[in-house]
Amino acid sequence: MPASGVSAAALAARLSALGLPVRMEEHDLHTTVEVEVPESLDAELWREALEVVADADRFGLLATSLNDRTLWAVVRKVVPTTGDVGGPSHQR
């Protein structure tokens, strides 16, 4: 579980429940959750969406000059501790 204690799937479900189309992308060490934010999104939904991504390990907003806005969140995956990296056969 990430340090924040929230999963990427839970974030995606909460954003989807707000009516925002969600994209998820798996990476080795983290999962990225993204939503395109329409210009017509009202202030209350903005607040709710920001509350959702605030539970992630990192989040931000990518805005372009073409009025595209992507709200993104990153949730880290569990990384083994140093003692577990080699697996049971390498432990002393």
Burial 34-67 (b: 16+ CB within 10 A, else e): bbebeeebeeeeeebbeebbebbeebeeeeeeee
Per-residue pLDDT of the chain (92 residues; tens, 9 = 90+): 444 567 999 999 999 999 999 999 999 999 999 999 988 889 999 999 999 999 999 999 998 878 789 999 999 987 656 655 555 544 44
Structure tokens at 9: 């799937």
What is the spatial distance between Cα 60 and Cα 80, in angstroms, rounded to a whole number? 27
Give the predicted TM-score (pTM) of the model: 0.76
pLDDT of residue 65: 78
Count of beta carbons in the 10 Å neighbourhood of residue 11: 24
pLDDT of residue 83: 58
8 A C-beta contact, residue 75 and residue 7: yes
Count of beta carbons in the 10 Å neighbourhood of residue 80: 9
